[in-house]
Structure 1
Amino acid sequence: MSDSVLIDTVDGVLTITWNEPDRLNALTAEMLNAAAASIEEAPSETRLVVITGTGRAFSSGAALGADFDGSATLDGANRLVRAMTRSPLPVISAVNGIAAGVGCSIAIAADITLAKSSGYFLLAFVNIGLMPDGGATELVAASVGRARANRMAMLGEKLPADEAAQIGLIYKSLDDEDYDAEFATLVGKIGRGPTKALSAMKKVITANTLPRLDAALDAELEGQVALFSTKDAFEGGSAFLEKRPAAFTGA
């Protein structure tokens, strides 16, 4: 695996770090599958998983460009979200900045999501003629309700980390200068916790709050693949790369 995603385990903490800061940690299928595999194959002594990013972004979403393979990227994202939610290990997302597109979906798929107050969450899909994926249609509504889920999905507006914490989308937003210390404290507390109890409670809470996550991932995959071939998606992607407003026609 390249240095695009860094994976290491220290003192029972498996840390996955998106490491493409120059492109705001935009995600490829290779990066997503490597992260998923590391969780699926975590050694028995692992007690906790942490996902974070380098630079000023957690992740800006899928790596769009001439070589973008939408289906493969979506498959990788779905695999990672399933690995995160099915793993018996607690998963923490340490959101160090921007969490957009499928990066937002992954950030909130964790059991606990901590963010810097300078960061934000954004379901940017509508801005490029697509629909939310990575389980966002289930994850967001389960956390903050249908009205706010529709607001995030249909308006495509930035949700500041402080507001995300206030409405219950994430665990906590912290001033940037306090973030590292509280993150270390949180990792230490959960990492020293009763692993069997944490696993049992995660399994039940996930089952009771995300009962249709698998169905949502499958439905998003079907819907998104269909949207990839639309003129609006082509226009949205072109506008994004050319840094101009998109002109959607409904085709």
Structure 2
Amino acid sequence: MQFETILFSLEASVARLVLNRPQRLNAFTVTMHHEVAVALDSLLDGHDARVLLLTGSGRGFCAGQDLSERNPESAEALDLGANIDAFYNPLIKRLTELPLPVVCAVNGVAAGAGVNIALACDIVVARKSAQFIQSFANIGLLPDSAGTWILPRLIGPARATALMMTGDPLNAAQAADWGMIWQAIDDEAFEEHVESLVRRLAVAPTRAMVAIKNAIKASSTASLADQLDRERDLQRMLGRTEDYREGVSAFKEKRKPNFVGR
């Protein structure tokens, strides 16, 4: 597929989606939203991908919304809620509901919705030089793209509230220390580290990876009894997979398992 604002490829079970507007720090436009949606939807039916890597081109990951598409001086009142309904909410739902692990490699600054899009992914790693900026309040808005839902659950309400109200940048090392992301990686080792991670997940037991992410997401609103039942049901399903049989056989035979994602 040929795109104008993203790069998208699938090779060796790894799908790679690169936001590709480096001159605008990969800020989202309507065209980019449409193209990202097409790419993500292509992973839902008859695909060979077992992991998705989301990253950005150039010196930044994503600056959120491209404000050049906004005209607040227009006589007609802006309906930002309609834009969220049309684009950002569906994007977050697509990312969180993909039936495969999603890795976000934050290669540079992530600002506004760019932060929250990254945090909607399953595993987030960042260059140590990267920064996370909840910049919404700087233009009179509140964080969207699930930012007010995800961030307090990751770092607590006190830190989340301060970051959102001040718009202060948070460096990658501090984000990792706070549990907001998984790892902050030295810049010179970043690309090799990311490649090793996605290659590892591409040969992992995919259905187990999906069950893990779904169980963790459900746990935030589930009672203990509900979560125990969910674990039981998911474990029952996984116990009937080819990968479970292969995993047990490999363990008994003291060899590396050959998982096929089924």
Fold conserved (TM > 0.5)? yes
1:169 aligned counterpart, secondary structure: coil
Residues 1:52 and 2:55 are matched in the alignment? yes
Contact 1:144–1:167 (8 Å) recurs in 2: yes
Which residue of structure 1 aligns with residue 17 of structure 2?
16
**TM-fit CA distance, 1:180:** 0.9
**Paired residue type of 2:152:** A
**Paired residue type of 1:178:** A
Which residue of structure 1 aligns with residue 37 of structure 2?
36
Which residue of structure 1 aligns with residue 65 of structure 2?
62
Which residue of structure 1 aligns with residue 92 of structure 2?
81
Kindly provide the CA deviation profile for residues 56-111 of structure 1, in whole angstroms up to 9, marking residues without a partner as x: 00001100025568456423121111011111210010100000000001011100
Match of 1:102 among 113, 116, 119: 113
Give TM-score scaled by structure 2 length: 0.76
Which residue of structure 2 aligns with residue 120 of structure 1?
131
Instruction: Give percent identity, aligned residues only.
Output: 36
Contiguous gaps of at least 5 residues in structure 2: 72-77, 223-262
Cα distance in 2, alignment partners of residues 180 and 210 from structure 1: 35
Comparing 28-37 with 95-104, which one deviates more in the overlay? 28-37
Which residue of structure 2 aligns with residue 230 of structure 1?
none
Is the radius of gyration larger for structure 1 or structure 2?
2
Contact 1:141–1:148 (8 Å) recurs in 2: yes
Which residue of structure 2 aligns with residue 183 of structure 1?
194
**Paired residue type of 2:50:** R
Contiguous gaps of at least 5 residues in structure 1: 212-251
**TM-fit CA distance, 1:31:** 1.1
Cα distance in 2, alignment partners of residues 196 and 88 from structure 1: 8
**TM-fit CA distance, 1:154:** 0.8
Cα distance in 1, alignment partners of residues 90 and 31 from structure 2: 12
Aligned residues: 211
Give TM-score scaled by structure 1 length: 0.79
Give the root-mean-square deviation of aligned CA atoms. 1.7
Kindly provide the CA deviation profile for residues 17-61 of structure 1, in whole angstroms up to 9, marking residues without a partner as x: 111111111111321232133223314321011110000000011
2:8 aligned counterpart, secondary structure: strand
Kindly provide the CA deviation profile for residues 157-185 of structure 1, in whole angstroms up to 9, marking residues without a partner as x: 00001100000000100110010111111
